[in-house]
Amino acid sequence: MRPTISADVRRALAERIRYYQELGIYDFYRRDAVATGSETSGVLSPEIPIQPEQREDMSPRKATARAVPEENIFEVIASRPETGVNDPVRALKMIREDLGDCTRCRLAKQGRKQIVFGVGNPNADLMFIGEAPGANEDQQGEPFVGRAGQLLTNMIKAMGLERSQVYIANIIKCRPPNNRTPERDECETCSPFLMRQVATIKPKAIVALGAVAARTLLAINDSMSNLRGRWYEFKPTGVRSNDPSWEGAKLAVTYHPAFLLRDPRQKKEAWKDLQMVMKELGLKAPAKTPES
């Protein structure tokens, strides 16, 4: 028997849904209340991964929120704007529009010049995800364009690809002041948009560049030496792709190019990581390792 949900709880849940939508989170799953025997246990959970067979999709919005009577309060749940849009170029544009002139976290008011959304091939098999824009990226509105960006471009070329063939983004889209490490809450606020980008692009493989990207994407707080050198199964948290046949990406971890500039001896190790990715994607290894 379906549990009864009181008007107060329904109202609270509707508020919560609207709050998450403000944050760019649209896909919700309702956990079975019977499991805990409490009416409030039918909690809406955008962040906790739940096995597909346990998921119950909430109804998409059929009318505007204000017009919906209280008894149909769950009908206010809107689809992500890009839901059902199979053209990734259009879908990415819609995600960018949904992000707008974002002020969802404190970085909006800490000197950013512009939002750095992401760049590259919307149909890419390979995505690189870094930490945050730096000064050059903030200036130009494109991720990885400074010295570290040049090194990343060289790494991509060494894999036998052009930069335009991959998609490059960061966990957060605004430059932190003095290039400080992003705070956890900033990553949590911004990353739902990245998750939607990943679900739209549907890459076969993702390379997380550096510890912040790796820890945020994998939700594992471990050292780089432990995180590198193996594959992880990755599904974007809290969002499903339009394409049910896409089962997620394989994710590998390597050093951030900025770290490699500071400690060039680690380039050899990074090259091993990239060779693992090349093997997975069937890319032809060039004759020699990159010089820079």
Q: Token pair of 151, please?
A: 């090194």
- 190, 206, 258, 276: which one contacts ligand SF4 (CB under 6 A)? 190
- For ligand SF4, how many residues bind (rule: CB under 6 A)? 14
Beta carbon of residue 135, minimum distance to ligand SF4 (angstroms, whole number): 15
Q: Using the rule CB under 6 A, is 206 a contact of ligand SF4?
A: no
Number of residues written out for the chain: 292
Closer of 170 and 254 to ligand SF4 (Cβ): 170
Q: Using the rule CB under 6 A, is 195 a contact of ligand SF4?
A: no
Q: Which residues contact 239 (CB under 8 A, 6 or more apart)?
A: 25, 26, 27, 80, 192, 195, 196, 199
The continuous run of DSSP H or E covering 150 comes out as helix 147-158
How distant is the alpha carbon of residue 185 from its chain centre? 14
DSSP3 helix / strand / coil % (the chain, rounded to 5)? 45, 10, 45
Beta carbon of residue 108, minimum distance to ligand SF4 (angstroms, whole number): 4
Instruction: Give the x/- contact pattern for ligand SF4 in 24-63, rule: CB under 6 A.
Output: ----------------------------------------
The Cα–Cα gap between 97 and 234 comes to 26
The continuous run of DSSP H or E covering 120 comes out as strand 119-120
Beta carbon of residue 104, minimum distance to ligand SF4 (angstroms, whole number): 4
State in Å, rounded, how far the first CA of the chain is from the last one. 64
**C-alpha distances out from residue 37 to 29, 32, 40, 151, Å:** 18, 9, 9, 55
Instruction: Give the x/- contact pattern for ligand SF4 in 114-143, rule: CB under 6 A.
Output: -x----------------------------
Residue 159 DSSP label? T
The Cα–Cα gap between 41 and 45 comes to 10
Instruction: Give the x/- contact pattern for ligand SF4 in 88-107, rule: CB under 6 A.
Output: -----------x--xxxx-x
Segment contacting ligand SF4 by CB under 6 A, of 6-14, 45-53, 70-78, 167-175:
167-175
Beta carbon of residue 100, minimum distance to ligand SF4 (angstroms, whole number): 9
Beta carbon of residue 235, minimum distance to ligand SF4 (angstroms, whole number): 21
Beta carbon of residue 115, minimum distance to ligand SF4 (angstroms, whole number): 5
User: Strand pairing partners for 209?
Assistant: 254
Binding region for ligand SF4 (CB under 6 A): 99, 102-105, 107-108, 115, 172-174, 186, 189-190
